Amino acid sequence: MKNHGIAVHGGAGTILKSAMTPQKEKDYMDAIEDALVTGDKILSLGGTSLDAVEAAVKYMEDFPLFNAGRGSVFTHDGKHEMDACIMNGKDLTAGSIAGVKNIRNPIQLARAVMEKSEHVFLANSGAVAFAKEQNIPIEPDEYFFTQQRYDQYKAAKNTDQIVLDHTPVSVIEGKKFGTVGAVALDQNGNIAAATSTGGMTNKRWGRIGDSPIVGAGTYANNKTCGISCTGYGEFFIRAVVAYDISCLMEYKNLSLKQACDFVVQNKLVKMGGEGGLIAIDFNGNIEMPFNSEGMYRGMKKSNTPLYIDIYKD
């Protein structure tokens, strides 16, 4: 039986211990742990990495503290527009959605796009129409209302700022790139990756970030690795971050760690691209590099205990 493993993230950014309350810290750590346990249980029982990453991301989408699903930030129009992507490293199939409203679990819709449509990427009202055909759960606007996000939105709108999940009205959060994601390797050696996000507070113009873009924010390939990113999406798109790591492994024979370090700590830093990612390779090695102050993250390998952290070393 091969090693299996899972890693999850809940966003990266300026997350300072000095600005966090013990309760808030515990809430985040508990949520990361629960997402990991949810995915690990599937893997331990011989389930697929695809099921594990979907379940872990779904858990985080349902948890209001993360900027994805229920906890998604408000757009400029006071709505919630969500993006997500899931990819199967076994056959390189993928499903992406962007700009969808009222979908309870965007990652579930992304998986339906992958498995039930002939397309890879569906957007906006068209994607929601597809969701309805597929009986994907829809929720009213109220479901996505959280006071914290609304306060962020009002503050951002008043100053006409487009902010990346920044919390100007609160001391407990700094600049934070709100996204959730999971990567996993199952007992059959199959890798999967999933990413889901509510985007940026006060965003306009139907902005799409890196999360739903295969190769940018999300990628999985059994030959190399599975990647889910979180950060300043525009830079991650331009640097094709997730596929870059895969190519550095496949074409330049770098290890997962070497590839991750080079892209996150060198290339992205030079461009000015703040953020991080989680990565798992075909041997079950896991890396969780970031160049920001912190990243909500955790991992569970079949042969090691749970590891969960928020800050730098």
Cβ proximity to a copy of itself, 181 vs 209, nearer residue: 209
Which positions from 80 through 139 interact with a copy of itself, judged by CB under 8 A? 92-94, 96, 98-99, 117-127, 129-130
| 78 touches a copy of itself (CB under 8 A) | no
Q: How far apart, in whole angstroms, are the C-alpha atoms of residue 42 and residue 74?
A: 33
Sign of CA dihedral 216, 218, 220, 223: positive
Name which of 211, 183, 215 is nearest 83 in CA terms: 211
Rounded CA gap, 61 and 200, in Å?
Answer: 16
Provide the annotated active-site residues.
179
Quick check: 233 binds a copy of itself (CB under 8 A)? Answer: yes
Q: What is the dihedral of CA 151, 155, 161, 162, to 10 degrees?
A: 0
Are 259 and 250 in contact by the 8 Å Cβ rule? The answer is: no
Sole residue written with tokens 């000015």: 272
Asked if 68 and 180 touch (Cβ cutoff 8 Å), the reply is: yes
Is there binding between residue 208 and a copy of itself (CB under 8 A)?
yes
Kindly tell me which residue out of 53, 73, 192, 240 binds a copy of itself, with binding defined by CB under 8 A: 240
> Which of 26/204 has CB closer to a copy of itself?
204
Least distance (Å) between residue 122 CB and a copy of itself: 5
DSSP 10: E
Compose the 140-169 pattern: x for residues touching a copy of itself by CB under 8 A, - for all others. Answer: ----------------------x-------
Residues 276, 145: Cα–Cα separation, whole Å: 27
x/- site string to a copy of itself, residues 247 to 276, per CB under 8 A?
xx--xx------------------x-----
Note whether 306 binds a copy of itself by CB under 8 A.
Answer: no
Asked if residue 111 lies in contact with residue 54, where contact means CB atoms within 8 angstroms, the answer is yes
Kindly state the smallest distance separating residue 223's Cβ from a copy of itself, in Å: 12
When binding is defined by CB under 8 A, the residue of 209, 231, 275, 284 that contacts a copy of itself is 209
CB 186 within 8 A of CB 243: no
Q: Which is nearer to a copy of itself, 38 or 67 (CB)?
A: 67
Alpha-helical regions (H) of 22-139: 22-44, 49-62, 106-116, 124-133
Contacts with a copy of itself, residue ranges (CB under 8 A): 92-94, 96, 98-99, 117-127, 129-130, 162, 204-209, 213-216, 219, 233-234, 237-240, 243-244, 247-248, 251-252, 271
